[in-house]
Structure 1
Amino acid sequence: MTAAPFLAAATLALPGIAHGFFTRKGGVSEGVYASLNGGVGSRDAPDAVAENRARMAAALGVRADQLAVPYQVHSPDAIAISVHWALDARPCCDGVVTATPGLALGVTGADCGMILFADPEARVVGAAHAGWRGALGGVVEATVAAMERLGAKRGAVVAALGPCIAQESYEVGPEFVAAFVEAGEARDRFFVPGRRPRYSMFDLKAYIAERAARAGVGQFEDMRLDTYADEERFFSYRRTTHRREPDYGRLVSAIALA
């Protein structure tokens, strides 16, 4: 099996733990999905997506049928699993954790934050998909809490944020800012004036880092990768929307206990 190339976080270079932030390179998909599209929700050929995911699993050293990616719904929900689910029985959640060796946890994204977590001493890992709704709702904290229920200690958890849209690429309207203000978040910490009147630039990366700090994560790494700006390596929902393209691929970030 051909293994897909990936990016790695220094924070997660830990004994007994395999992880990868996969780019759009190294797969078999074509057209707008070229080439390592991991999104079963895209209109890409299912066989191509399955092959791409198998290559990701191979890179992590697990079987193709042991890469578990949930049905993401921009929720604050996180669950613990010990066995893989059938593709047609994916749970609706945005965070998954496990203490089971050989089971890889993955999340998809194409601008939203993809965060991988590990407590190397307790041997518990997790993955979370954090768009602005999920981050605001508390998916980072929920993922850490789910890890804690499996024996992890918050202060021992390390986390890394992979490819994610950067502030300079993320202009939002006043209603977006209002949602954060209504939730009690400080406007000046995460928003700067936008390119258009009444618009703002949102720093999703900084906000995810803040929520990780609130969750008590011991160490957090932002890999400083902008999905929107780096077309060669990353898919981007916002870039696709601006270009009025018919669809877009999804990146996958995954982690496993060896």
Structure 2
Amino acid sequence: MTGSMTDSSAMGIEVLTHPALAGTAHGFLGRKGGVSTGLHAGLNVGWGSEDDPAATAENRRRAGQAVLPGARLVCAYQVHSPDVVTVTTPWDEADRPKADALVTNRPGLLLGVLTADCAPVLFHDPHAGVIGAAHAGWRGAIDGVTDRTVEAMEALGASRAAIAAVVGPCIGQKSYEVDAGFERRFLEEAAENERFFRAGRAGHAWFDLAGYVAHRLHAFGVGVVGMLDEDTYAQADRFFSFRRATHAGEPGYGREISLIGLR
């Protein structure tokens, strides 16, 4: 399921939404509308980005207000793992657990995942009133972070056939060159993963991260899978990108945030 809608808040924040997640407050945000400057110019929300902490805090406040005003933003300390935390009450930023996905059935909590080329995935079971958010880089994706998120939602009463999941902006295949060792790891997991690689120069290939994540969701029985098809690397005016900053020799980079909450 493809397609998206774009909303612009009063603060100039671009909020990408998807009809599969209708009924939730949600948004895939980029870099537009923030107060950071320099390498982090725009809506940088990453505490670890060496940005001015006051600017980061204001950007996070603006992001929350653009999606679900008055809700408490909840984020994990992301470590490229398949680990999931079920959120019942919010925590202070200094106490956030190490994990790469969050689930809840509590209204008023705004689950957030940070990315800068990795794939954000937002989940919703409208019948059970359960939501989730996952950070799926290649390592978390192959280790099953989306599978574990669905299982954690099921523990709260969700049904995987009723879950809608949307893969948000991430690095596109045309921008994601990997080496033979990287490709081999995915082929050893399943020979069919060959379809997510396009041959490149000798010893290299181009990897379709979003396609692989969507495949994992379908294979695990998720009822509706959507994709936004937005390449973070290729759109410097709209998104932060770790790989683009690395290729440019820049000493730092910002992070964008994807959010979902129950009203």
Instruction: Report what 1:43 is aligned to.
Output: 50
**CA separation in 2, counterparts of 1:192 and 1:61?**
40
Instruction: Report what 1:206 is aligned to.
Output: 211
**CA separation in 1, counterparts of 2:218 and 2:84?**
18
**CA separation in 2, counterparts of 1:57 and 1:238?**
26
**CA separation in 1, counterparts of 2:220 and 2:147?**
5
Instruction: Report what 1:151 is aligned to.
Output: 157
Question: What per-residue deviation string (whole Å, max 9, x for no partner) do you get for residues 121-161 of structure 1?
Answer: 11100000000000000000000110010011101100111
Could you say what secondary structure the match of 1:201 adopts? strand
Instruction: Report what 1:230 is aligned to.
Output: 235
Instruction: Report what 2:3 is aligned to.
Output: none
Instruction: Report what 1:100 is aligned to.
Output: 106
The aligned runs of 1:116-135 (5 Å cut-off) are 116-135=122-141
Contact 2:162 2:223 in 1 (8 A): yes
Find the partner of 1:257 among 243, 256, 262: 262
The amino acid that maps onto 1:189 is R
Q: Could you tell me the TM-score, scaled by structure 2's length? A: 0.93
Instruction: Please identify, of 209-218 and 139-148, the stretch whose mean Cα deviation from structure 2 is larger.
Output: 209-218
Question: What per-residue deviation string (whole Å, max 9, x for no partner) do you get for residues 83-112 of structure 1?
Answer: 111111111111100000000000000100
Instruction: Please identify, of 83-92 and 55-64, the stretch whose mean Cα deviation from structure 2 is larger.
Output: 55-64
Question: What per-residue deviation string (whole Å, max 9, x for no partner) do you get for residues 175-233 of structure 1?
Answer: 10121122234342111111x21100011111001110122111011100000111110
Contact 1:84 1:103 in 2 (8 A): yes
Instruction: Report what 1:32 is aligned to.
Output: 39
Is 1:219 the counterpart of 2:219? The answer is: no
**CA separation in 2, counterparts of 1:193 and 1:47?**
45
Give 1:2 shift: 6.4
**CA separation in 2, counterparts of 1:187 and 1:6?**
32
Instruction: Report what 2:20 is aligned to.
Output: 11
**CA separation in 1, counterparts of 2:184 and 2:215?**
19
Contact 2:187 2:194 in 1 (8 A): no
Find the partner of 2:80 among 74, 83, 86: 74
Contact 2:68 2:110 in 1 (8 A): no
Give 1:166 shift: 0.8
Q: Could you tell me the TM-score, scaled by structure 1's length? A: 0.95
**CA separation in 1, counterparts of 2:106 and 2:10?**
25
Hey, which bits of structure 1, 4+ residues long, moved more than 3 A? 1-5
Please, which runs of 5 or more residues in structure 1 have no aligned partner? none
Instruction: Tell me the percent identity.
Output: 50
Q: 1:134 to 1:185 in 2, by over 3 A?
A: farther
**CA separation in 1, counterparts of 2:46 and 2:67?**
18
Could you say what secondary structure the match of 2:261 adopts? strand
**CA separation in 2, counterparts of 1:227 and 1:192?**
19
**CA separation in 1, counterparts of 2:189 and 2:225?**
24
